[in-house]
Copies of this chain bind each other. A is one copy, B any other.
Amino acid sequence: MKLLEERIKKDGTVRDGNVLKVDNFLNHQMDMELFQEMGKEWKKLFADKPINKILTIEASGIAIAAIAAQYFDVPVVFAKKAQSINIAGEVYQTKIESFTHKRTYDVIVSKKFIGPEDHILIIDDFLANGCALLGLIDIVEQAGATIEGIGIAIEKGFQQGGKIIRDKGYDLQSLAIIDSMNENKVVFREQ
Protein backbone atom coordinates (compact mmCIF):
# COMPACT_ATOMS: atom_id res chain seq x y z
CA MET A 1 0.00 0.00 0.00
CA LYS A 2 1.78 3.07 -1.33
CA LEU A 3 0.25 5.50 1.17
CA LEU A 4 1.60 3.55 4.14
CA GLU A 5 5.01 3.00 2.51
CA GLU A 6 5.34 6.71 1.79
CA ARG A 7 4.37 7.54 5.37
CA ILE A 8 6.97 5.14 6.76
CA LYS A 9 9.62 6.76 4.54
CA LYS A 10 8.53 10.24 5.60
CA ASP A 11 7.88 9.82 9.32
CA GLY A 12 9.47 6.51 10.37
CA THR A 13 12.94 6.32 11.85
CA VAL A 14 15.21 3.29 12.07
CA ARG A 15 17.10 2.72 15.30
CA ASP A 16 19.79 0.26 16.33
CA GLY A 17 18.69 -3.33 16.64
CA ASN A 18 16.29 -3.30 13.69
CA VAL A 19 13.83 -1.08 15.55
CA LEU A 20 11.46 0.90 13.33
CA LYS A 21 9.93 3.83 15.21
CA VAL A 22 6.53 4.80 13.81
CA ASP A 23 5.15 6.19 17.03
CA ASN A 24 4.19 9.52 15.47
CA PHE A 25 1.44 8.02 13.29
CA LEU A 26 0.89 4.33 14.09
CA ASN A 27 1.36 3.17 17.67
CA HIS A 28 1.49 6.07 20.13
CA GLN A 29 0.15 9.07 18.23
CA MET A 30 -2.27 7.67 15.66
CA ASP A 31 -3.48 9.11 12.34
CA MET A 32 -7.12 8.19 11.80
CA GLU A 33 -7.16 9.21 8.12
CA LEU A 34 -4.33 6.78 7.44
CA PHE A 35 -6.12 4.08 9.45
CA GLN A 36 -9.28 4.64 7.38
CA GLU A 37 -7.33 4.06 4.16
CA MET A 38 -5.77 0.93 5.67
CA GLY A 39 -9.22 -0.33 6.66
CA LYS A 40 -10.54 0.24 3.13
CA GLU A 41 -7.54 -1.59 1.68
CA TRP A 42 -8.12 -4.66 3.87
CA LYS A 43 -11.79 -4.58 2.95
CA LYS A 44 -10.75 -4.77 -0.71
CA LEU A 45 -8.23 -7.54 -0.06
CA PHE A 46 -10.70 -9.64 1.97
CA ALA A 47 -13.83 -8.63 0.04
CA ASP A 48 -14.96 -12.19 -0.68
CA LYS A 49 -14.53 -13.53 2.86
CA PRO A 50 -17.52 -14.06 5.21
CA ILE A 51 -15.85 -12.19 8.09
CA ASN A 52 -18.11 -11.57 11.09
CA LYS A 53 -15.59 -10.48 13.73
CA ILE A 54 -12.16 -8.88 14.01
CA LEU A 55 -9.67 -10.04 16.62
CA THR A 56 -6.69 -7.97 17.70
CA ILE A 57 -4.43 -7.63 20.74
CA GLU A 58 -3.89 -4.73 23.10
CA ALA A 59 -2.69 -2.11 22.93
CA SER A 60 -1.44 -0.84 19.60
CA GLY A 61 -3.61 -3.12 17.44
CA ILE A 62 -6.85 -1.81 18.88
CA ALA A 63 -7.28 1.49 17.06
CA ILE A 64 -6.30 0.00 13.69
CA ALA A 65 -8.75 -2.86 14.19
CA ALA A 66 -11.53 -0.53 15.36
CA ILE A 67 -11.25 1.78 12.37
CA ALA A 68 -11.01 -1.18 9.96
CA ALA A 69 -14.05 -2.87 11.53
CA GLN A 70 -16.24 -0.04 10.28
CA TYR A 71 -15.67 -1.14 6.69
CA PHE A 72 -16.60 -4.75 7.52
CA ASP A 73 -19.59 -3.83 9.74
CA VAL A 74 -18.39 -6.23 12.43
CA PRO A 75 -17.46 -5.98 16.11
CA VAL A 76 -13.88 -6.08 17.39
CA VAL A 77 -12.60 -8.31 20.18
CA PHE A 78 -9.23 -7.53 21.67
CA ALA A 79 -7.07 -10.10 23.44
CA LYS A 80 -5.93 -8.89 26.85
CA LYS A 81 -2.48 -9.17 28.32
CA ALA A 82 -3.16 -10.60 31.76
CA GLN A 83 -1.04 -10.07 34.84
CA SER A 84 -2.23 -13.20 36.55
CA ILE A 85 -4.82 -15.73 35.58
CA ASN A 86 -7.36 -17.16 37.94
CA ILE A 87 -10.42 -17.31 35.74
CA ALA A 88 -9.78 -20.74 34.25
CA GLY A 89 -12.68 -22.10 32.27
CA GLU A 90 -14.05 -18.73 31.25
CA VAL A 91 -11.28 -17.72 28.88
CA TYR A 92 -9.08 -18.94 26.08
CA GLN A 93 -5.52 -18.46 27.17
CA THR A 94 -2.16 -18.52 25.44
CA LYS A 95 1.37 -17.34 26.05
CA ILE A 96 3.13 -14.76 23.90
CA GLU A 97 6.82 -14.02 24.13
CA SER A 98 7.68 -10.36 23.63
CA PHE A 99 11.21 -9.73 22.42
CA THR A 100 10.70 -5.97 22.75
CA HIS A 101 9.85 -6.24 26.43
CA LYS A 102 11.90 -9.38 27.10
CA ARG A 103 9.09 -11.18 28.89
CA THR A 104 6.27 -13.64 28.33
CA TYR A 105 2.64 -12.54 28.58
CA ASP A 106 -0.44 -14.54 29.33
CA VAL A 107 -3.01 -13.44 26.81
CA ILE A 108 -6.72 -14.10 27.22
CA VAL A 109 -10.01 -13.81 25.37
CA SER A 110 -13.36 -14.50 26.98
CA LYS A 111 -15.04 -17.65 25.65
CA LYS A 112 -18.22 -15.59 25.34
CA PHE A 113 -16.87 -13.73 22.35
CA ILE A 114 -15.38 -16.33 19.99
CA GLY A 115 -16.91 -19.68 19.12
CA PRO A 116 -17.07 -22.29 16.34
CA GLU A 117 -19.59 -20.19 14.40
CA ASP A 118 -17.20 -17.26 13.99
CA HIS A 119 -15.24 -16.24 10.89
CA ILE A 120 -12.35 -14.16 12.13
CA LEU A 121 -10.13 -11.53 10.59
CA ILE A 122 -7.04 -11.00 12.74
CA ILE A 123 -5.59 -7.47 12.62
CA ASP A 124 -2.37 -6.20 14.19
CA ASP A 125 0.06 -3.34 13.66
CA PHE A 126 3.36 -5.23 13.37
CA LEU A 127 4.58 -8.65 12.29
CA ALA A 128 8.21 -9.52 13.00
CA ASN A 129 9.00 -12.92 14.52
CA GLY A 130 5.31 -13.84 14.55
CA CYS A 131 4.94 -14.61 18.26
CA ALA A 132 1.93 -12.36 18.87
CA LEU A 133 0.18 -13.58 15.74
CA LEU A 134 0.78 -17.25 16.56
CA GLY A 135 -0.77 -16.58 19.96
CA LEU A 136 -3.88 -15.05 18.39
CA ILE A 137 -4.11 -17.95 15.92
CA ASP A 138 -3.88 -20.36 18.87
CA ILE A 139 -6.80 -18.61 20.57
CA VAL A 140 -8.98 -18.76 17.43
CA GLU A 141 -8.14 -22.44 17.02
CA GLN A 142 -9.00 -23.17 20.67
CA ALA A 143 -12.38 -21.57 19.95
CA GLY A 144 -12.92 -23.74 16.88
CA ALA A 145 -13.52 -20.61 14.81
CA THR A 146 -12.36 -20.06 11.22
CA ILE A 147 -9.51 -17.69 10.39
CA GLU A 148 -10.57 -15.96 7.18
CA GLY A 149 -7.51 -13.78 6.95
CA ILE A 150 -4.82 -11.83 8.72
CA GLY A 151 -4.23 -8.12 8.14
CA ILE A 152 -0.95 -6.56 9.26
CA ALA A 153 0.07 -2.93 8.85
CA ILE A 154 3.87 -3.32 8.76
CA GLU A 155 5.67 -6.62 8.26
CA LYS A 156 9.40 -6.89 8.83
CA GLY A 157 10.02 -9.14 5.86
CA PHE A 158 13.58 -9.85 6.95
CA GLN A 159 12.32 -11.63 10.06
CA GLN A 160 10.71 -15.05 10.03
CA GLY A 161 7.09 -14.34 11.08
CA GLY A 162 5.59 -13.73 7.65
CA LYS A 163 7.09 -16.89 6.15
CA ILE A 164 5.95 -19.02 9.11
CA ILE A 165 2.37 -17.74 8.83
CA ARG A 166 2.17 -18.02 5.01
CA ASP A 167 3.68 -21.53 5.12
CA LYS A 168 0.81 -22.55 7.41
CA GLY A 169 -1.55 -21.54 4.60
CA TYR A 170 -3.10 -18.41 6.10
CA ASP A 171 -4.18 -15.52 3.87
CA LEU A 172 -1.80 -12.92 5.30
CA GLN A 173 -2.05 -9.41 3.86
CA SER A 174 0.59 -6.98 5.07
CA LEU A 175 0.09 -3.45 3.80
CA ALA A 176 3.83 -2.72 3.83
CA ILE A 177 6.57 -5.35 3.86
CA ILE A 178 10.06 -4.13 4.69
CA ASP A 179 12.78 -6.26 3.11
CA SER A 180 15.65 -4.28 4.56
CA MET A 181 16.22 -1.08 6.47
CA ASN A 182 18.94 1.08 7.91
CA GLU A 183 19.20 4.68 9.09
CA ASN A 184 19.29 5.97 5.53
CA LYS A 185 16.96 3.71 3.60
CA VAL A 186 13.91 1.49 3.95
CA VAL A 187 13.38 -1.02 1.13
CA PHE A 188 9.85 -2.35 0.59
CA ARG A 189 8.93 -5.62 -1.08
CA GLU A 190 7.08 -5.27 -4.38
CA GLN A 191 3.47 -6.47 -3.92
Given A36-B70, A59-B80: A75 in contact with B112 (beta carbons within 8 A): no
Copies of this chain, complex-wide, total 2
Contacts of A59 in B (CB 8 A): 58-59, 62, 78, 80
Nearest to A83 among chain B residues (CB) is B101
Interface residues of A in 158-182 (CB under 8 A from B): none
When the two chains form their complex, are residues B32 and A75 in contact, meaning their CB atoms are under 8 A apart?
yes
- Chain B residues contacting A23 (CB-CB under 8 Å) are 110, 112
Q: Which residue of chain B has the shortest Cβ distance to A74 in the bound complex?
A: B32
The answer to whether B77 and A28 have CB atoms under 8 Å apart is yes
Number of interface residues of A (CB under 8 A): 33
CA distance A65 to B66 in the complex (A): 10
Does B76 contact A32, Cβ atoms closer than 8 Å? yes
Interface residues of A in 38-70 (CB under 8 A from B): 58-59, 62-63, 65-67, 69-70
A35 to nearest B CB, angstroms?
7
Do A30 and B67 touch (CB < 8 A)? no
Residue A29 lies at the interface, judged by CB distance under 8 Å to chain B: yes
Q: Are B30 and A76 in contact (CB under 8 A)?
A: yes
Decide: B70 and A32 in contact? CB cutoff 8 A.
yes
Are A113 and B24 closer than 8 Å at their CB atoms? Answer: yes
A31 adjacent to chain B (CB < 8 Å): yes
In the complex, which residues of chain B have a beta carbon less than 8 angstroms from the beta carbon of A25? 75
Q: Give the distance in Å from the alpha carbon of A25 to the alpha carbon of B113 in the complex.
A: 10
Given A36-B70, A58-B59, A63-B63; A77-B30 close (CB under 8 Å): yes
Closest to A59 in B: B58
Evaluate whether A30 and B70 lie within 8 angstroms (CB atoms) in the complex, with A59-B62, A62-B63, A113-B24 already known. Answer: no
A113/B28 in contact, CB under 8 A: yes
CA distance A35 to B66 in the complex (A): 10
